[in-house]
Structure formats: structure tokens, C-alpha cells
Structure 1
Amino acid sequence: MAIYVYGATAQAKMTIDLMEQLGLSIAGCIDKSLLLDTVLGYPVALNHQIAQTNHYFLAIRNAGLRKRTFEDLAVDNYVTLTHPTAYISAHAEIEAGTVIFAKAVVMPDVQIGQQVLIDAGAVSHSNSIIEDFVNIGANVSIGSNVLVGEGVEIGANSVIDNEVTIPAFCIIPPHTHITD
């Protein structure tokens, strides 16, 4: 199965690198503006015909844009990518289209929605819910019993203490510490 990477920026490069490490076949990249002919040697198509039989990954960093693109494409064949050095509990739930980068940790009873980006070294403690289209930056620590609302973007090196609710589409700057 060859996978199309939707996007042609830095997030696409990170995704392609991970897909290569996982030994996945990459069909190419799709982008709405043809600023590049290739990304890491893979062709970029401007007017790709979306097909339900193809597999896709949305490599779009901006949570709002990723959600709009997801809704516009209206396809069901999204892959989930997990770096081999990430630890994912067998008791965690992860929905389609999510990417988990190197050395991230997802503990038991964590529910992760669709199209979530979890950067390197991020830790999600047990009994937490991370809703759809969330971005979790590198080295973020999310405590137990936390609700991260849809489309939230958490900057690198932030700490979210136990028992915290973060409303949908909030942007949390890097190095932020949130308590209840």
C-alpha cells in the first residue's frame, strides 16, 4: 500500500522521514500550492485526484488548517504513524491519522482522537483524553485525568498538571505550566 502525504512543508519532511524509517511506501506528496517539485525526493502533485482507495496522511502542522483539509477531502483511508522508539500502552486508544514521534510516551487509558500530532519526547499520563486535531509539542508533559479539547496547540516544553481541562482551539505557548 502506497501512502500519499498531504502537505509539502516541514511537517511533510518529518512525516516522510518517519515513514521511511517504518519501511512504508510513499506514493508522493499533495499540496495546494506548487512551490516545490519534490519533497525529500518524492514528487509533489498540485491537482491530485483524491480516491477512496488510496491511503493518506495529513502532514499539516496548523491544527485548524488540518481540520479544514480533513473535512474538505472527505476520505476514510488515513494511516496512523508511530515512531519505533515511542512507547504506546496496549491500553491506550489512538484514532486514525495520528502521528507519534520519537520517544513519546502514551500511558494506559489515554484516548487520542483523530489527526493528532505528538512530537518527540511528549508524555501523556493515564486517564487523559486528547481530542481531534490537537498538536502536542516536543517534551510536553500532560498529567493524569486531563482533557485536551479539539484543535488545541500545546507549545514545546510545556507542563499540564493533573485534573486540568483545556478548552478547544486554545494555543498554549512553549514553556507554559498550567495548573488547575
Structure 2
Amino acid sequence: MASLGKLCVGRPTFLLPSTFLGSPRNLQRSSSAGGPDLKCYRSGRCIRRRLTVYGFLPVDPWAPTIDSASVASQLFAVSLFPYLGFLYFITKSKSAPKLTLFGFYFLLIFVGATIPAGIYAKVHYGTSLSNVDWLHGGAESLLTLTNLFIVIGLREALRKIKDEKESTPGVLPRIKEEEKSSV
């Protein structure tokens, strides 16, 4: 029993943080239990764990829970590509109001400021960004500005359309006037 304690004792250390995109946690781990993927039971039996990959997310089938922070950060990083595609096509279509388009681009400033703020919170406070009020509030204020730019731009566009409809006479009266003048 003493040898089992020596074999399975010790918390694994991670060479890369679990939130690093694409770093399978169990492959990056080194432990005193005889290897990174060794699972030991009280009975003294040890087996090697295997890593299962679902899409781009590595998942350890023996883990009691999946680290939600790791999955969230990977999804956050991958979601940037569809958003850049959205920005490309909405800019190319020239259908969005200028202030709204600026708001969509301003969201990238929010993302660019949130990432270093999250790293700073983790390094200096040892917790996530959401637990450091002054950093989290500053980052969220950028998101608030983003939302304001988008909404005010759309509101101005709707008012402009409404004003154009009110200022131009209907199509039917113009056609009747043209018919009378041609006779």
C-alpha cells in the first residue's frame, strides 16, 4: 500500500495553461505517477488514459469534469474567424450605416482590450477577469460603447428612411399626373 501512495501521489503540473488553444491537457502534463497519462486506482491497478478528440477540442474520457474555462477560451478564439468573415461581407455589401459598421469594428477593440486585461487579472490577481471589478468594468464599458454605436447607427438609418418616405410623394399620384399631362 505504501508503494501505491508513492506511485499516485502528487498533483500534475501543466507545461502550458489548460486554456492554451489546442493544448491537450493530458498530453502536456507530467506527474510523479509514472507518466502523463497514467490513472491509478486504490486497488493498485494503473492504466493509461487515452485522449479523445471531438472536433478540435481534446477531451479526456476519464476526467470527472471537463474544464469549462478551457473549452470557453478555445471557442472564443475560434469564433473570431466567422466574425471577421461577417465584417468582410457587411463592409463589402455597403448596406450597413456607417456608425453601425464602426460599432461592429469597435467590437474588435473590445476583444483586443479584454484579452490583455484577462491575462493581467490572472497573473497579478490569480483569478479570472470577471472577478476583478475595475478591469472587468473597464472592459465591459467598451462593449457598452460598441452596442451604443450599433444601435444609434441603426436608429439613424431608420429615421432617415422614415423621413424619405414622408418627404417624397407617393408613386401613384405621380403616375396620374404624368398621364394627365401627356393627354
TM-score bracket, shorter-length normalisation: under 0.3
Computing the radius of gyration over CA atoms, which structure comes out larger, 1 or 2?
2
Higher relative contact order (CA 8 A, sep 6+): 2
Give TM-score scaled by structure 2 length: 0.20
Q: Which has the higher strand share?
A: 1
